[in-house]
Amino acid sequence: MVAIGSLMPNSALQKRVVKTLSVAQILSGVGVAGTVAAGSLLVSSITDSETLAGLAQTSAVLGAAALALPLARLTARGGRRLALSVGYTAGAIGSLFAILGGSLSNIFLMLIGTFMVGAASAAGYQARFAAIDLATDQTRAKQLSFVVWGSTIGAVTGPNLMQPAGNLAENFGLPRLVGPYLISATTLALATVVIALFLKPDPYLVANKETVTKREKGSTKKALAHIRSNPITLFAILSIAIGHVAMVSVMVMTPVHMAHVDVTLTIIGLVISIHVLGMYAFSPLVGALSDRLGRVRVIQIGIVTLLLSTVVSGFARADDAYTLGVGLFLLGLGWSCTLIAGSALLSESVEPAFKASSQGASDLVMNLAGAGGGALAGVIIGTLSYGWLCFAAAVPVLVLGLMSLKIKSIPQTTTESNLPL
């Protein structure tokens, strides 16, 4: 069976969809990215423990994982507009819980908040698939990359708002570190409005028309069986998940590592911004390369880049913002390669009937892996060191690299005869 997207030419509707999703990603990027460093530092301050600092990101990633399949089911039932609106709204509400938890030094409320902010991340991940509902095979990765790239402005801006956001929080009589959550509550609410008003008609419903409910009903278990039986689909999901766990585990502990030598929040925010720049700024180039060179080759480029990033970051001193910036930039770039090429490969390698469920399953695995990595990262840096954390992050990436050498020899068993491997 040929995927619906392969039959659909690019159109004015597709361009409007990509523009709408990009604006929403900018707004959500400002909100979510700004809470990454602040969340870790806030939990560390509340608990007085560096070992527990990773709980903030772990909770957020668990929230994204928990919402992955429900958002996929909402997509199958009511389309992308419904699913994305629910995700962004939950994130805005979660920001309010985080503000309350941080203000009261209540770790329980704080983690509930970060868990719900993770729902906004889940919506952001779903948005990349929304970008390719109406895309052609020849431009699928490039269209996906435009929405990923749309996160650049917001995601780079977010961490650099830590200082003014802290000032804003103080003006309201709140702790400085809850400032980024004030920003996220506002921007995620605005993202919800953008999706609700402008993502019309819904791209998923247009692509699937009347057959969507019938085909997707009860398909989650079948989708999982389909994934297990398809080596290319399984490799695509592992590429996304392993790239994500390496990125999350190193990124979330870098602010804690730098805080050992009293580096200012401005410098920490700058390093995280450079990392986010690597994640998103070159997405269109990564997408174009994926369409031209093939999905597996770009995943392999990402693997090499991730391994290089762990070496650079692992040997950097806590006060060496320049070297850490380079390492985290490479970390973000490697993640971009595995995410974009892996996501395109996933969408092409599953039957249309299992597409939404498989995408949800992929996000579930990715976020569970990230949650585990974030939790383990806190233990490693608390008991060993940041350098050992970078070494540990490199191990699964190396395993993925060895797997990729075998994938090339696997005959095509996908739904599309022209799958660009």
Whether residue 203 has pLDDT greater than 50: yes
Which pLDDT score, from 0 to 100, does residue 94 have? 95
State the residue for tokens 């699937």.
208
Beta-carbon contacts of residue 358 (< 8 Å; ≥ 6 apart): 223, 226, 227, 233, 346, 350
Averaged confidence pLDDT in the chain: 82
pLDDT bucket at 114, cuts 50 / 70 / 90: very high
For the chain, domains (ranges, CATH) are 4-205+215-407 (1.20.1250.20)
d(CA 259, CA 261): 5
Q: What does pTM read for this prediction? A: 0.75
Who wins on pLDDT, 69 or 155? 69
Of all residues in the chain, what percent carry a pLDDT higher than 90?
27
Instruction: Determine which helix (DSSP H) or strand (DSSP E) holds 305, and give its type and residue range.
Output: helix 295-314
Mean pLDDT: which of 151-160, 184-193, 315-324 is highest? Answer: 184-193
Of 185, 173, 240, 170, the closest CA to residue 34 belongs to: 185
Mean pLDDT score, 55-84: 85
Whether residue 129 has pLDDT greater than 90: no
Cβ count near 266 (within 10 Å): 11
pLDDT bucket at 259, cuts 50 / 70 / 90: confident
Burial of 1 by CB count in 10 Å (0-12 exposed, 13-18 middle, 19+ buried)?
A: exposed
Whether residue 416 has pLDDT greater than 70: no
pLDDT bucket at 137, cuts 50 / 70 / 90: low
Whether residue 339 has pLDDT greater than 80: yes
Which pLDDT score, from 0 to 100, does residue 420 have? 54
Whether residue 298 has pLDDT greater than 80: yes
Whether residue 214 has pLDDT greater than 70: no
Whether residue 415 has pLDDT greater than 50: no
d(CA 12, CA 141): 18
Who wins on pLDDT, 262 or 392? 392
Who wins on pLDDT, 69 or 83? 83
Mean pLDDT score, 273-286: 84
Which pLDDT score, from 0 to 100, does residue 253 have? 83
Mean pLDDT score, 293-302: 91
pLDDT bucket at 413, cuts 50 / 70 / 90: very low
Which pLDDT score, from 0 to 100, does residue 189 have? 95
Which pLDDT score, from 0 to 100, does residue 40 have? 79
